[in-house]
Amino acid sequence: MEKLGLTKENWDQFIEWIWNFVPGLISAILILFIGMWVIRIFSKGLRKFFQKKDYDETLENFLYEIINIGLKILLLILVITQLGVQTSSLVAILGAAGLAVGLALQGSLANFAGGVLILFFKPFKIGDFIEAQGISGTVKEISIFTTKLTTFGNQLAIIPNGKLSNDNIVNYSSEGIRRDKIDIGISYDSNILEAKQILLDLINGQELVMQEPTPEVIVTELGDSAVTLQLRYWASNDDFWAIHFYTIEEAKKKLEAGGISLPFPQRDVHLYSKEMS
């Protein structure tokens, strides 16, 4: 011991410290493992409770994550205090650490706040088709920090909640029905009234199209090479796209069959000859 620079008194103090510290360490390890086991069991029970109550899926996921993280933080504090760290000192350390983490993770805190706002105001829910941040897709998951969308091409888009809650959101599913408008150009030589009637007959002949409000066809523009007719009608979200694509295809067929010309952009070029003197 003398070769190591330790006197008998120092060695006795070291042994005493080890003797006093080991029980606390063992207790902390036991508390950690038992606590994690209890949290795991509690989390499973919480999931089953939410499923039985049939709460909103967004609210279920959000509350589950908050409660799970909160329980783990409490367990960590309990383990640290079991090692002999004073509560007052721990509070001071957590306060300083919280300030540092808050400054370093300002974006994450903004996303957390955005998640709370989305949960509270509910601009959309899981399963809704929305457009936000230049991305369109079906809401797959709403977590504390991000929202996941499944796009039309089946890609997964992840949008931070901070940006999502502070920008425009278009929810196509919230009202249950949608209004469509399809622009169709006809030539200036064609009969407008006949073309409008053909389009009205087409849309009124579809059972899935809502008859109230009444479908209509109006003239919206006198273009450079065409008169633009706009076909407007209402349909449910489930039938919207099927009607939309079918109507575009059938409109061309029926207009042409009715003698209505569908022009394409063109220019008339006039050539003038001038005699050279």
Euclidean distance between CA atoms 58 and 60, whole angstroms: 5
Query: Both 15 and 91 in a single domain?
Result: yes
135 DSSP β-pair partners: 132
CATH assignment of the domain containing 205: 3.30.70.100
Domain shared by 14 and 98, yes or no: yes
Provide the whole-model pTM: 0.59
253 is a domain residue: yes
Strand order in the sheet with 177-186: 177-186, 227-236, 216-222
Indicate whether 76 and 90 sit together in one domain.
yes
Residues 79 and 37 in one domain: yes
User: Are 47 and 32 within one domain?
Assistant: yes
Same domain for 48 and 79? yes
pLDDT in tens, the chain (277 residues): 444 455 666 666 656 666 666 677 777 788 888 888 888 888 888 777 777 766 666 667 777 777 888 888 888 877 777 776 666 665 666 666 665 555 444 567 788 788 878 877 888 888 899 999 889 999 998 887 889 999 988 999 999 988 888 889 999 988 889 999 999 999 998 999 999 999 999 999 999 999 888 999 999 999 888 999 999 999 998 899 899 999 999 999 999 999 888 887 666 677 776 665 5
CB atoms within 10 A of CB 265: 9
Task: Tell me how far the alpha carbon of residue 248 is from its chain's centroid.
Answer: 30
Mutual angle of helices 192-204 and 240-257, in 10-degree steps: 140
What is the extent of the structural domain holding 142? Answer: 121-171
Asked if the structure places residue 276 within a domain, the reply is no
